Chains A and B, each alone.
Chain A
Amino acid sequence: MSPKIGVVTFPGSLDDQDALRAIRKCGGEPVSLWHGDDNVDGVDAVILPGGFSYGDYLRCGAISRFAPVMAEVIKAAEAGMPVLGICNGFQILCEAQLLPGALIRNDVRVFVCKDQDLQVESVDTTWTSEFTVGQTITLVLKNGEGGYVADEDTLRRLEGEGRVVFRYLNGNPNGSFHDIAGICNERGNVLGLMPHPEHNIDPLTGPTQDGRAFFSSVFNFLAAKV
């Protein structure tokens, strides 16, 4: 039985369909979740997709973080369910305090859209076990508010605990502290990153298929769990 991966659609989500398609193309069963749902019953993992949920009003992810479905996502994440936040999803995870720090406007003051080289820093997460430490991958990066910031204590803790999962290579595109592109929680089941793995699964639409390993990683994790 293929694992069921839920993708939450908020008003203003942009990449929910790509995420659903990526799950299907990589061998999972995609499940559409709605921001107003009051449960995530029956899914084995959840993806919070990219986009501009609630029009980025107030702060990116600030209002989505209180959507009804998020109460269930937070509960499930704290119980160990794999949760992946991509771009706006990463912002939502930070606002929800499932991940530390915050994402602010790019220091370059422009929307960045490019194929971004990344270094894999940690494979001890449910979403990155199929990579190798030090591996260079390329994923689409497209955002206006992708500058990762956190206080010194938090950065020290993230670095010390091996929770910096991806780092920007060949130039920092947005002013993120420590070139951070993605981080995970202590348990390694919640991962947030600004680049978009769901856009890099098909040779037709991307220069690499490096995004596939995110999905195979979580499928393996879920298969081993059962």
Chain B
Amino acid sequence: MARVVVDVMPKPEILDPQGKAVTGALARLGFAGMSVRQGKRFELEFDGEVTEERLAEVRRAAETLLANTVIETFDVRVEPTPESAGAVDEAQNSQAGNNQAENNKAENSKAENNKAENSKADGSEAQSAEEAELAARAG
């Protein structure tokens, strides 16, 4: 799954009454010195990869319907989805990932050894407890 985001904003020279209202509300709430312009964000999801053709198609859709270019500008960009973000991270951090994995492996084996030792210890303890009980019964 791939995601393309289209951001639509009112052109700078076009009055943005909604942004002005939000600016005023923020100021009343104590968020001073913030000037807001309000736009729209569209998320378009596709199966498969985002190709150049796909992007060109999205730009056409934005120009045809999503934005009115008389009063608005738009911006098209590819946004990593959670799964593709995972793939990208793995690819980019493969070295670090491998190191991490090796570390993990080392830690795990160490932990397992400890566990084994513990259980051995437990076992011996149990054994000694058993022996103690037997000794007590015998006594």
Contact = CB atoms under 8 A, between A and B. Distances in A.
Interface of A: 58-59, 62-63, 66, 94-95, 100-102, 104-107, 109, 147, 149-151, 175
A158 to B, nearest CB: 13
B15 A150 contact: no
Contacts of B15: 104, 107, 147, 149, 175
A62 B71 CA distance: 13
B21 interface: yes
B17 A104 contact: yes
B68 A107 contact: no
B20 interface: yes
B65 A66 contact: yes
B68 A59 contact: yes
How big is chain B's contact interface, by range?
10 to 19
Contacts of A147: 15
Contacts of A106: 17
B70 interface: yes
19 contacts: A58-B65, A58-B66, A59-B68, A63-B65, A66-B65, A94-B70, A100-B70, A101-B70, A102-B71, A104-B10, A104-B14, A105-B18, A107-B15, A109-B17, A109-B20, A149-B14, A149-B15, A149-B70, A149-B71
Given A147-B15, A175-B15, A104 B65 contact: no
Given A104-B10, A149-B71, 9 more contacts: A58-B66, A94-B70, A101-B70, A102-B70, A102-B71, A105-B17, A107-B15, A109-B17, A175-B15
Contacts of B66: 58
Contacts of A101: 70
Nearest to A95: B68
Give the most central of B17, B18, B20, B71: most A CB within 10 Å: B17
Say what secondary structure dominates the interface of chain A: loop
A169 B65 CA distance: 34
Contact of B17 (A95, A107, A151): A107
3 tightest CB-CB pairs across the interface, nearest first? A105-B17, A102-B70, A102-B71
A95 B68 CA distance: 8
A9 to B, nearest CB: 22
Given A107-B15, A147-B15, A102 B68 contact: yes
Contacts of A102: 68, 70-71
A63 B68 CA distance: 12
A105 B68 CA distance: 14
A58 B71 CA distance: 13
Contact of B71 (A63, A66, A104, A175): A104
A150 B65 contact: no
A62 B14 contact: no
